[in-house]
Chains A and B, each alone.
Chain A
Amino acid sequence: MNGIDEHAQIREQLPLFVAGALDPQTEAQITRHVASCPTCAAELERWQLISGGLRRLPTPQPSPSLVARTHTAVAEQIAERAEQRQNRTVLILLVCFSWIVTIAGWPLFRFITGGVLSLLDIRFHQAWLVFASVSGLTWLAGGSAAVLLSARRQQERRFAL
Protein backbone atom coordinates (compact mmCIF):
# COMPACT_ATOMS: atom_id res chain seq x y z
CA MET A 1 0.00 0.00 0.00
CA ASN A 2 1.45 3.36 -0.93
CA GLY A 3 1.16 6.48 1.22
CA ILE A 4 -1.63 8.17 -0.70
CA ASP A 5 -3.75 5.02 -0.63
CA GLU A 6 -3.29 4.76 3.11
CA HIS A 7 -4.27 8.40 3.68
CA ALA A 8 -7.28 7.97 1.43
CA GLN A 9 -8.34 4.83 3.25
CA ILE A 10 -7.95 6.47 6.64
CA ARG A 11 -9.89 9.56 5.59
CA GLU A 12 -12.66 7.44 4.14
CA GLN A 13 -13.13 5.89 7.57
CA LEU A 14 -13.09 9.14 9.55
CA PRO A 15 -16.87 9.84 9.44
CA LEU A 16 -17.56 6.40 10.87
CA PHE A 17 -14.66 6.83 13.29
CA VAL A 18 -16.19 9.94 14.86
CA ALA A 19 -19.56 8.17 14.85
CA GLY A 20 -18.05 5.31 16.86
CA ALA A 21 -19.22 2.87 14.22
CA LEU A 22 -15.95 1.05 13.50
CA ASP A 23 -14.55 -2.14 14.93
CA PRO A 24 -11.81 -1.78 17.58
CA GLN A 25 -9.08 -2.92 15.18
CA THR A 26 -9.86 -0.24 12.59
CA GLU A 27 -10.21 2.36 15.32
CA ALA A 28 -6.77 1.47 16.67
CA GLN A 29 -5.31 1.66 13.16
CA ILE A 30 -6.76 5.14 12.64
CA THR A 31 -5.61 6.32 16.05
CA ARG A 32 -2.06 5.18 15.27
CA HIS A 33 -2.14 6.82 11.86
CA VAL A 34 -3.40 10.24 12.95
CA ALA A 35 -0.85 10.30 15.77
CA SER A 36 1.87 10.44 13.15
CA CYS A 37 0.08 12.27 10.31
CA PRO A 38 -0.76 15.96 10.91
CA THR A 39 -2.81 16.24 7.71
CA CYS A 40 -5.12 13.37 8.60
CA ALA A 41 -5.20 14.59 12.21
CA ALA A 42 -6.46 17.98 10.97
CA GLU A 43 -9.07 16.21 8.86
CA LEU A 44 -10.16 14.20 11.88
CA GLU A 45 -10.46 17.39 13.87
CA ARG A 46 -12.89 18.77 11.30
CA TRP A 47 -15.05 15.67 11.55
CA GLN A 48 -14.91 15.85 15.33
CA LEU A 49 -16.15 19.43 15.23
CA ILE A 50 -19.17 18.27 13.25
CA SER A 51 -19.85 15.26 15.46
CA GLY A 52 -19.34 17.38 18.59
CA GLY A 53 -21.67 20.01 17.19
CA LEU A 54 -24.34 17.38 16.53
CA ARG A 55 -24.07 16.13 20.12
CA ARG A 56 -24.52 19.66 21.44
CA LEU A 57 -27.44 20.74 19.25
CA PRO A 58 -30.18 22.51 21.19
CA THR A 59 -32.93 20.10 22.16
CA PRO A 60 -36.45 21.16 21.16
CA GLN A 61 -38.73 20.44 24.10
CA PRO A 62 -42.43 19.63 24.21
CA SER A 63 -44.59 22.23 25.89
CA PRO A 64 -46.03 21.37 29.34
CA SER A 65 -49.54 21.64 27.89
CA LEU A 66 -48.69 19.06 25.22
CA VAL A 67 -47.38 16.68 27.87
CA ALA A 68 -50.50 17.25 29.99
CA ARG A 69 -52.80 16.69 27.01
CA THR A 70 -50.92 13.54 26.09
CA HIS A 71 -51.14 12.22 29.62
CA THR A 72 -54.88 12.87 29.73
CA ALA A 73 -55.47 11.24 26.34
CA VAL A 74 -53.51 8.13 27.26
CA ALA A 75 -55.16 7.88 30.67
CA GLU A 76 -58.56 8.01 28.99
CA GLN A 77 -57.55 5.37 26.51
CA ILE A 78 -56.34 3.07 29.28
CA ALA A 79 -59.56 3.62 31.26
CA GLU A 80 -61.68 3.01 28.16
CA ARG A 81 -59.86 -0.21 27.35
CA ALA A 82 -60.23 -1.43 30.92
CA GLU A 83 -63.94 -0.70 30.76
CA GLN A 84 -64.24 -2.47 27.40
CA ARG A 85 -62.49 -5.53 28.83
CA GLN A 86 -64.80 -5.51 31.83
CA ASN A 87 -67.88 -5.07 29.66
CA ARG A 88 -66.77 -7.91 27.43
CA THR A 89 -66.35 -10.24 30.40
CA VAL A 90 -69.73 -9.29 31.84
CA LEU A 91 -71.38 -9.73 28.44
CA ILE A 92 -69.91 -13.22 27.99
CA LEU A 93 -71.10 -14.24 31.46
CA LEU A 94 -74.56 -12.83 30.81
CA VAL A 95 -74.87 -14.61 27.47
CA CYS A 96 -73.84 -17.90 29.07
CA PHE A 97 -76.32 -17.38 31.88
CA SER A 98 -79.09 -16.50 29.42
CA TRP A 99 -78.51 -19.62 27.37
CA ILE A 100 -78.57 -21.77 30.48
CA VAL A 101 -81.82 -20.14 31.58
CA THR A 102 -83.30 -20.51 28.10
CA ILE A 103 -82.40 -24.18 27.76
CA ALA A 104 -83.33 -25.04 31.30
CA GLY A 105 -86.51 -22.99 30.96
CA TRP A 106 -88.03 -25.17 28.25
CA PRO A 107 -88.78 -28.20 30.46
CA LEU A 108 -90.02 -25.86 33.17
CA PHE A 109 -92.20 -24.05 30.65
CA ARG A 110 -93.67 -27.37 29.51
CA PHE A 111 -94.19 -28.53 33.05
CA ILE A 112 -95.96 -25.35 34.17
CA THR A 113 -98.01 -24.69 31.06
CA GLY A 114 -98.59 -28.25 29.92
CA GLY A 115 -102.04 -28.47 31.45
CA VAL A 116 -103.14 -25.07 30.24
CA LEU A 117 -101.87 -25.74 26.73
CA SER A 118 -103.68 -29.04 26.52
CA LEU A 119 -106.89 -27.34 27.64
CA LEU A 120 -106.43 -24.77 24.86
CA ASP A 121 -105.59 -27.60 22.46
CA ILE A 122 -102.21 -26.13 21.56
CA ARG A 123 -99.93 -28.76 20.09
CA PHE A 124 -96.25 -29.30 20.78
CA HIS A 125 -94.85 -27.34 17.83
CA GLN A 126 -97.14 -24.42 18.61
CA ALA A 127 -95.94 -24.39 22.21
CA TRP A 128 -92.36 -24.30 20.96
CA LEU A 129 -93.24 -21.26 18.82
CA VAL A 130 -94.69 -19.46 21.83
CA PHE A 131 -91.60 -20.25 23.89
CA ALA A 132 -89.24 -19.19 21.09
CA SER A 133 -91.13 -15.93 20.59
CA VAL A 134 -91.03 -15.08 24.28
CA SER A 135 -87.31 -15.94 24.48
CA GLY A 136 -86.52 -13.99 21.31
CA LEU A 137 -88.36 -10.92 22.51
CA THR A 138 -86.58 -11.13 25.85
CA TRP A 139 -83.16 -11.35 24.15
CA LEU A 140 -84.03 -8.47 21.84
CA ALA A 141 -85.16 -6.29 24.73
CA GLY A 142 -82.00 -7.14 26.71
CA GLY A 143 -79.74 -6.43 23.73
CA SER A 144 -81.45 -3.12 22.99
CA ALA A 145 -81.11 -2.07 26.61
CA ALA A 146 -77.39 -2.93 26.56
CA VAL A 147 -76.82 -0.93 23.36
CA LEU A 148 -78.72 2.08 24.69
CA LEU A 149 -76.85 1.98 27.98
CA SER A 150 -73.51 1.73 26.20
CA ALA A 151 -74.37 4.68 23.92
CA ARG A 152 -75.41 6.74 26.91
CA ARG A 153 -72.19 6.00 28.78
CA GLN A 154 -70.14 6.99 25.74
CA GLN A 155 -72.11 10.23 25.48
CA GLU A 156 -71.55 10.95 29.17
CA ARG A 157 -67.81 10.33 28.74
CA ARG A 158 -67.70 12.77 25.81
CA PHE A 159 -69.47 15.45 27.83
CA ALA A 160 -67.08 14.89 30.73
CA LEU A 161 -64.05 15.83 28.54
Chain B
Amino acid sequence: MGIDAAVLQLRRGDLAALSTLIARYQNRVYRYLMRLVRQPAEAEDLFQQTWLRVAEKIRSYDPERNFDAWLFTLARNLAFDHLRRIQPSSLDEPVDDNAPEETRLSRLATSDPGPRDQLLAGERARHLAAALETLPVIYREVLSLRFEEEMKIEEIADVLGTPLSTVKSRLRRGLEQLRRTIEASYGKAK
Protein backbone atom coordinates (compact mmCIF):
# COMPACT_ATOMS: atom_id res chain seq x y z
CA MET B 1 0.00 0.00 0.00
CA GLY B 2 1.43 3.41 -0.97
CA ILE B 3 1.62 6.37 1.37
CA ASP B 4 -1.13 8.33 -0.41
CA ALA B 5 -3.48 5.36 -0.36
CA ALA B 6 -2.69 4.67 3.29
CA VAL B 7 -3.39 8.29 4.21
CA LEU B 8 -6.73 8.23 2.39
CA GLN B 9 -7.70 5.00 4.10
CA LEU B 10 -6.68 6.28 7.51
CA ARG B 11 -8.97 9.26 6.94
CA ARG B 12 -11.75 6.71 6.66
CA GLY B 13 -10.67 5.12 9.95
CA ASP B 14 -8.91 2.08 8.46
CA LEU B 15 -6.52 0.64 11.06
CA ALA B 16 -4.56 -1.37 8.49
CA ALA B 17 -3.57 1.93 6.91
CA LEU B 18 -2.34 3.11 10.27
CA SER B 19 -0.12 0.04 10.56
CA THR B 20 1.31 0.79 7.14
CA LEU B 21 2.13 4.38 8.05
CA ILE B 22 3.64 3.54 11.43
CA ALA B 23 5.74 0.76 9.92
CA ARG B 24 6.94 3.09 7.17
CA TYR B 25 7.80 6.06 9.37
CA GLN B 26 8.51 4.67 12.85
CA ASN B 27 12.31 4.74 12.59
CA ARG B 28 12.46 8.16 10.98
CA VAL B 29 10.04 9.82 13.38
CA TYR B 30 11.70 8.26 16.41
CA ARG B 31 15.18 9.24 15.20
CA TYR B 32 14.05 12.81 14.57
CA LEU B 33 12.50 13.05 18.04
CA MET B 34 15.64 11.58 19.59
CA ARG B 35 17.73 14.23 17.85
CA LEU B 36 15.45 16.93 19.26
CA VAL B 37 14.96 15.81 22.86
CA ARG B 38 17.94 13.40 23.23
CA GLN B 39 16.26 11.40 26.02
CA PRO B 40 14.77 8.01 25.02
CA ALA B 41 11.95 8.20 27.58
CA GLU B 42 10.88 11.63 26.31
CA ALA B 43 11.25 10.57 22.69
CA GLU B 44 9.06 7.52 23.34
CA ASP B 45 6.35 9.63 24.91
CA LEU B 46 6.47 12.12 22.04
CA PHE B 47 6.49 9.28 19.50
CA GLN B 48 3.19 8.02 20.88
CA GLN B 49 1.75 11.52 21.06
CA THR B 50 2.76 12.15 17.47
CA TRP B 51 0.79 9.19 16.15
CA LEU B 52 -2.19 10.08 18.33
CA ARG B 53 -2.02 13.56 16.83
CA VAL B 54 -1.84 12.04 13.35
CA ALA B 55 -5.02 10.07 14.00
CA GLU B 56 -6.66 13.20 15.42
CA LYS B 57 -5.66 15.56 12.62
CA ILE B 58 -5.66 13.27 9.61
CA ARG B 59 -9.05 14.59 8.47
CA SER B 60 -7.64 18.11 8.26
CA TYR B 61 -4.57 16.97 6.32
CA ASP B 62 -4.45 18.44 2.83
CA PRO B 63 -3.55 15.60 0.42
CA GLU B 64 -1.87 18.18 -1.82
CA ARG B 65 0.73 18.73 0.88
CA ASN B 66 3.80 16.57 1.31
CA PHE B 67 2.90 13.96 3.94
CA ASP B 68 6.47 13.70 5.25
CA ALA B 69 6.58 17.43 5.92
CA TRP B 70 3.14 17.33 7.58
CA LEU B 71 4.09 14.40 9.79
CA PHE B 72 7.41 15.89 10.84
CA THR B 73 5.71 19.22 11.54
CA LEU B 74 3.37 17.48 13.99
CA ALA B 75 6.30 15.72 15.66
CA ARG B 76 8.29 18.95 15.79
CA ASN B 77 5.45 20.96 17.31
CA LEU B 78 4.99 18.40 20.06
CA ALA B 79 8.73 18.20 20.73
CA PHE B 80 9.14 21.97 20.85
CA ASP B 81 6.12 22.35 23.14
CA HIS B 82 7.76 19.80 25.39
CA LEU B 83 11.14 21.54 25.29
CA ARG B 84 9.48 24.90 25.88
CA ARG B 85 7.95 23.49 29.06
CA ILE B 86 11.09 21.88 30.46
CA GLN B 87 13.84 24.19 29.18
CA PRO B 88 12.62 27.34 27.41
CA SER B 89 16.12 28.74 26.84
CA SER B 90 17.10 25.71 24.74
CA LEU B 91 14.94 27.08 21.89
CA ASP B 92 16.63 30.46 21.68
CA GLU B 93 18.56 31.30 18.54
CA PRO B 94 22.22 31.05 19.60
CA VAL B 95 24.41 34.09 19.29
CA ASP B 96 27.11 33.46 16.70
CA ASP B 97 30.13 33.90 18.95
CA ASN B 98 32.64 33.31 16.17
CA ALA B 99 32.77 36.07 13.62
CA PRO B 100 32.46 34.51 10.16
CA GLU B 101 35.26 36.66 8.73
CA GLU B 102 37.68 35.52 11.40
CA THR B 103 36.70 31.90 10.84
CA ARG B 104 37.19 32.15 7.12
CA LEU B 105 40.60 33.77 7.44
CA SER B 106 41.79 31.32 10.05
CA ARG B 107 40.65 28.47 7.82
CA LEU B 108 42.56 29.86 4.91
CA ALA B 109 45.71 29.88 6.98
CA THR B 110 45.14 26.68 8.91
CA SER B 111 47.03 23.52 8.20
CA ASP B 112 45.73 21.61 11.22
CA PRO B 113 44.51 18.13 10.56
CA GLY B 114 40.76 17.99 10.05
CA PRO B 115 38.23 15.55 11.39
CA ARG B 116 39.03 13.01 8.67
CA ASP B 117 40.62 10.47 10.95
CA GLN B 118 37.85 10.76 13.53
CA LEU B 119 35.19 9.92 11.01
CA LEU B 120 36.81 6.91 9.41
CA ALA B 121 36.05 4.43 12.18
CA GLY B 122 32.81 3.56 13.93
CA GLU B 123 34.16 4.89 17.17
CA ARG B 124 34.74 8.20 15.50
CA ALA B 125 31.18 8.18 14.17
CA ARG B 126 29.97 7.98 17.74
CA HIS B 127 32.17 10.96 18.44
CA LEU B 128 30.34 12.84 15.71
CA ALA B 129 27.00 11.81 17.23
CA ALA B 130 28.18 13.09 20.60
CA ALA B 131 29.28 16.37 19.04
CA LEU B 132 25.91 16.68 17.32
CA GLU B 133 24.19 16.35 20.69
CA THR B 134 26.02 19.38 22.01
CA LEU B 135 24.54 21.65 19.34
CA PRO B 136 21.49 23.81 20.04
CA VAL B 137 18.25 22.12 19.07
CA ILE B 138 17.57 24.44 16.13
CA TYR B 139 20.82 23.28 14.51
CA ARG B 140 20.37 19.62 15.42
CA GLU B 141 17.00 19.54 13.76
CA VAL B 142 18.05 21.07 10.43
CA LEU B 143 21.11 18.81 10.25
CA SER B 144 18.98 15.77 11.03
CA LEU B 145 16.29 16.71 8.51
CA ARG B 146 18.84 17.41 5.79
CA PHE B 147 21.38 14.65 6.25
CA GLU B 148 19.44 11.87 7.94
CA GLU B 149 15.94 12.40 6.56
CA GLU B 150 17.37 13.68 3.29
CA MET B 151 14.67 16.33 3.00
CA LYS B 152 14.98 19.08 0.44
CA ILE B 153 15.60 22.59 1.72
CA GLU B 154 12.04 23.55 0.72
CA GLU B 155 10.62 20.64 2.70
CA ILE B 156 12.67 21.60 5.75
CA ALA B 157 11.38 25.16 5.47
CA ASP B 158 7.87 23.72 5.36
CA VAL B 159 8.45 21.66 8.51
CA LEU B 160 10.06 24.55 10.38
CA GLY B 161 7.66 27.17 9.06
CA THR B 162 10.57 29.46 8.24
CA PRO B 163 11.95 31.04 5.05
CA LEU B 164 14.53 29.18 2.95
CA SER B 165 17.17 31.71 3.95
CA THR B 166 16.71 30.80 7.62
CA VAL B 167 17.07 27.10 6.85
CA LYS B 168 20.29 27.74 4.93
CA SER B 169 21.63 29.98 7.64
CA ARG B 170 20.95 27.35 10.31
CA LEU B 171 22.49 24.63 8.15
CA ARG B 172 25.65 26.64 7.68
CA ARG B 173 25.96 27.63 11.33
CA GLY B 174 25.11 24.14 12.49
CA LEU B 175 27.79 22.57 10.31
CA GLU B 176 30.35 25.17 11.30
CA GLN B 177 29.63 24.73 14.99
CA LEU B 178 29.71 20.95 14.61
CA ARG B 179 33.10 21.14 12.94
CA ARG B 180 34.45 23.47 15.61
CA THR B 181 33.26 21.07 18.32
CA ILE B 182 34.84 18.08 16.62
CA GLU B 183 38.11 19.88 16.02
CA ALA B 184 38.21 21.14 19.60
CA SER B 185 37.61 17.63 20.93
CA TYR B 186 40.19 16.21 18.57
CA GLY B 187 42.74 18.75 19.76
CA LYS B 188 42.06 17.89 23.39
CA ALA B 189 42.32 14.18 22.62
CA LYS B 190 45.77 14.74 21.22
Contact = CB atoms under 8 A, between A and B. Distances in A.
Given A19-B175, A50-B179, A82-B13, A61 B47 contact: no
B188 to A, nearest CB: 18
Q: Is the interface of B mostly helix, strand, loop or mixed?
A: helix
A113 B76 CA distance: 68
B15 A78 contact: yes
Contacts of B172: 15-16, 19
B176 A15 contact: yes
Interface of A: 4, 7-8, 11-12, 15-16, 18-21, 42-43, 45-47, 49-63, 66-67, 69-71, 73-75, 77-78, 81-82
B116 A62 contact: no
Residue among A56, A59, A63, A74 with max Cβ neighbours from chain B (10 Å):
A74
Nearest to B59: A81
A50 B128 contact: yes
Contact of B171 (A8, A19, A53, A63): A19
Contacts of B119: 49-50, 52-53
Contacts of A47: 175, 179
A74 B22 CA distance: 11
Nearest to B174: A15
B104 A8 contact: yes
A46 B40 CA distance: 31
B168 A21 contact: yes
B51 interface: yes
Residue among B40, B119, B171 with max Cβ neighbours from chain A (10 Å):
B119
Interface of B: 13, 15, 18-19, 22, 26-27, 30-31, 34, 40, 43-44, 47-48, 51-52, 54-56, 100, 104-105, 107-108, 114-116, 119, 124-126, 128-129, 132, 143, 146-148, 150, 153, 167-168, 171-172, 175-176, 178-179, 182
A15 to B, nearest CB: 4
Given A11-B104, A57-B132, A67 B26 contact: yes
User: What are the 6 tightest A-B residue pairs by CB atom distance, in nearest-first order?
Assistant: A46-B114, A54-B147, A15-B175, A62-B30, A53-B119, A53-B128
A75 B55 CA distance: 9
A52 B54 CA distance: 32
